[in-house]
Structure 1
Amino acid sequence: MTGHPTSARARRLRTPRGEFAAVDVPTAPGVTPRGVALLLPGYTGSKEDFALIQEPLAARGYRTVAVDGRGQYESDGPADDESAYAQEELARDVLAQAEALGTPVHLVGHSLGGQIARAAVILDHTPFRSLTLMSSGPGRISVSQEQRVKLLRDALAVMSMAECWQAILAMGPPEEVGGPARGIGGPELLRNRWLGTKPAQLLATGRQLCSEPDRVDELAAVPLPFHVLSGERDDTWPVPDLDEMARRLGAHRTVIDGAEHSPAADRPAPTARALAGFWDGLPPAGAVS
C-alpha cells in the first residue's frame, strides 16, 4: 500500500461480473459524508494512479474507490482472449462495480478509463451522479501517441511481458502514465503492475485508443452533469480538443496549471479541489432539478 493514505483499505470489489482489486478510502473521521466516487485508471495504469488525491477527497467528505479494470494489474482476466476486453465488456464491468457500491456514484475516468466510463454511462446512466473525464478526449488519441501504442502492440506480438518491460524503460509507456514514475510506489510498483497486466488487455485497449470514434453527441444526450478536467498540456489529446468537447457537452471545465496528462499525479491538491468543488455544486442525490 506504499503511497496510499493510512486510511486506505485494499479490498476485492465483488460483482456478478467478477472481483476487482480496489483501494477504498472512506470519508475522513468527523467529516460529513457527501458522496462516493469510483475512479478508473488509464492505459498501462492502475488504481495507484489516484493515491495522492484520495486523502484530500476524504477530507472533503468523499469516499473514493479506485479500481483496476479487468486484466489490469491486480484484477484477473484472460491473458490471450482479446474479446474479453471489448469496450462494451469493460463498460459493463463498470456498471457492475457501481452497482456493487450500493449508491449512485460520481464516476471519474482517466484517459482510457474516461472512454470506458463514457461507454458505461451511454449504456446506463442510472448508477451514476456525475461523470468526470480526466485527460480523456472525444475520439482517438493523437498521432504521436498512436505510434507509441502501435510500437508496444508490435512488441507484445513477439516479446514476453518481461522483455517488453525493458523496451518501456527506454521508451516510456504510451499515454505518459505518470503515477508511480513520479513517486507513487516507485519503480517497483511500475514494473509489477506492468508484469501483472494481461497482454490481451493491452492489445485490445490499445486498439480501442487508436480507433475510438467521436461519441460526444451520444454522451451529450445522457442526463448527467459532466466535468472535463485536464492539465494545461497534453500530448494524448490536444487541450483545445478537450475545450471543444466540454463546450459540446455543456460540461464544467477545469484546467490544472502545471499538470500534463496525469493531473492526479502531477498536481494532486488542485486536482482534488477541482473534483470536490464540482461535486459540491451538484444537487443532492434524489433532488429534482
Structure 2
Amino acid sequence: MSTPSQISPHRGRRIDLPGQYGPVAALRAKAATPTATALLLPGYTGSKEDFAPLLDPIAGAGLDAVAIDLPGQYESAGPDDEDAYLPAPLGSVVADLVGKLAAEGNPVVLLGHSYGGLVARGAVLAGAPIVGLTLMGSGPGELPDGARRQALDAGEPAIRQFGVEAAQVLREQLDAAAPPGPGSSPELAALMRERFVRCRPAALLGKARALRSEPDMVSSLARVLHTSGIPCLVTCGEGDDAWSVSTQRDMADRLDADFAVITNARHSPNVENPDELLATLIPTWRSWLTA
C-alpha cells in the first residue's frame, strides 16, 4: 500500500464553484445519500489536493466532500490586491460559498488547515451558516518564531523583486535540507512546484503578511460559536512545527472545543496519518449532525 499523499487516487470530480472573484477550483466526492457537506480549506501554499486521502472516506461516511483552492491559489481565480487575501476578506468569500452549498439542502461542516484555519475563523465571524467547525494545525493568530516564519521572511523579498519562480527555487533549496515527507516522489514534487508558481503573487504576499501579523481572535470566535451553538474541534499532529501542540490545546480550551492529537503526524495529518485523522473527524462530525 502506497503512503498517502496529495496525489493519492480518489473518486473526487474536478469542478468549479461560483466565487466572488471568479471560479473556485474544487474536488468534490459525492456521497450516495449525503446527510451533510464537508468543506475543506487548505493552507498557505496548499491546494485542494492536500485532502486527496480524505475525499473517498468522507463520502463513504455519508458526507459530500468538497476541497477547494482558496482564491488566488493554484487553479482558483483571485484579485491582484494583497489585502483581499487576509483572513477576514477571504473568510467573507468562504462564508458566501458555504451559503451556496447549504442552499443545496444539506448542512455544512467547515474544516480549515493551517492558514485555512484562520480563513475558516474569518468565515464564522462573517456569519457562515455552518453546523460545526474544525481547526486543524492552525493557531490563535500569527505564526510563532521558527523555521516556517523565517521562510516567509526570506520569501517575501524574493517574490517582490524576482517573482514567484525565484521564491520557488528558494523553497526547493530549503526543502532539500529537510527530510523527505510522506509520499515524496517526482510526481508530488512536480505538483508542489506547479501549484506554487500558479499562485497569484498578491495571494502569497497577502497571506504571508497575515501569517506574521494576524491578531489573536480566539475570544471573538468563542463568542460567536457559543452564541450560535456551533460545536468546534481542534486537532493537530503530535509533531506540529507551525503552531505548537500546547498552543493549539490552549486555543481549544478557550473555544470550549474538543481537542485531538494525531500520532505519527506533523503539520499535515491529512496526508501524514489520514486514517487516524478520519477516525477523529467522522465520529465527531456525526455527533454534531445528530445532536
Instruction: Give the match for residue 3 of structure 2.
Output: none
Partners of 1:11 and 1:24 within 8 A in 2: yes
Instruction: Give the match for residue 7 of structure 2.
Output: 3
In structure 1, C-alpha distance between the alignment counterparts of 2:257 and 2:10, rounded to whole Å: 34
Cα distance, 1:172 vs. partner?
3.2
Instruction: Give the match for residue 137 of structure 1.
Output: 139
Deviating more after overlay: 224-233 vs 84-93: 84-93
Query: What SS class does the counterpart of residue 288 from structure 2 fall into?
Result: coil
Instruction: Give the match for residue 192 of structure 1.
Output: 194
Cα distance, 1:185 vs. partner?
5.3
How well do the aligned residues superpose, as a CA RMSD in angstroms? 2.2
Instruction: Give the match for residue 70 of structure 2.
Output: 69
Distance 1:129 1:216, change over 3 A: same
Partners of 1:15 and 1:100 within 8 A in 2: no
Pairing partner for 1:21 from 12, 16, 25: 25
In structure 1, C-alpha distance between the alignment counterparts of 2:121 and 2:185, rounded to whole Å: 29
Partners of 1:110 and 1:135 within 8 A in 2: yes
Query: What SS class does the counterpart of residue 189 from structure 2 fall into?
Result: helix
In structure 1, C-alpha distance between the alignment counterparts of 2:72 and 2:94, rounded to whole Å: 13
In structure 1, C-alpha distance between the alignment counterparts of 2:107 and 2:186, rounded to whole Å: 29
Unmatched runs of 5 consecutive residues or more in structure 1: none
1:158-181 C-alpha deviation (Å, 9 max, x unpaired):
1122222111111139xx9x68x6
Instruction: Give the match for residue 212 of structure 1.
Output: 214
Instruction: Give the match for residue 166 of structure 2.
Output: 163
In structure 1, C-alpha distance between the alignment counterparts of 2:168 and 2:186, rounded to whole Å: 18
TM-score scaled by length of structure 2: 0.88
Unmatched runs of 5 consecutive residues or more in structure 2: 1-5
Structure 2 residue 120 is the aligned partner of structure 1 residue 117: yes
Letter in 1 for 2:92: R
In structure 2, C-alpha distance between the alignment counterparts of 1:56 and 1:152, rounded to whole Å: 36
Partners of 1:139 and 1:213 within 8 A in 2: yes
1:215-273 C-alpha deviation (Å, 9 max, x unpaired):
11111112310000100011111110111111111101111011100010100111122
Query: What SS class does the counterpart of residue 110 from structure 2 fall into?
Result: strand
Distance 1:47 1:185, change over 3 A: farther
Cα distance, 1:86 vs. partner?
3.2
In structure 1, C-alpha distance between the alignment counterparts of 2:127 and 2:165, rounded to whole Å: 38
Letter in 2 for 1:142: P
Deviating more after overlay: 40-49 vs 12-21: 12-21
Query: What SS class does the counterpart of residue 76 from structure 2 fall into?
Result: coil
Instruction: Give the match for residue 273 of structure 2.
Output: 267
Partners of 1:24 and 1:63 within 8 A in 2: yes
Deviating more after overlay: 55-64 vs 258-267: 55-64
Count matched residues: 276
In structure 2, C-alpha distance between the alignment counterparts of 1:66 and 1:184, rounded to whole Å: 23
TM-score scaled by length of structure 1: 0.89
In structure 2, C-alpha distance between the alignment counterparts of 1:47 and 1:91, rounded to whole Å: 17
Deviating more after overlay: 248-257 vs 146-155: 146-155
| Identity rate, percent | 39
Q: How does 1:242-261 map to 2 (within 5 A)?
A: 242-261=248-267
1:163-217 C-alpha deviation (Å, 9 max, x unpaired):
22111111139xx9x68x6469511111110111011101001010111111111
Partners of 1:156 and 1:164 within 8 A in 2: yes
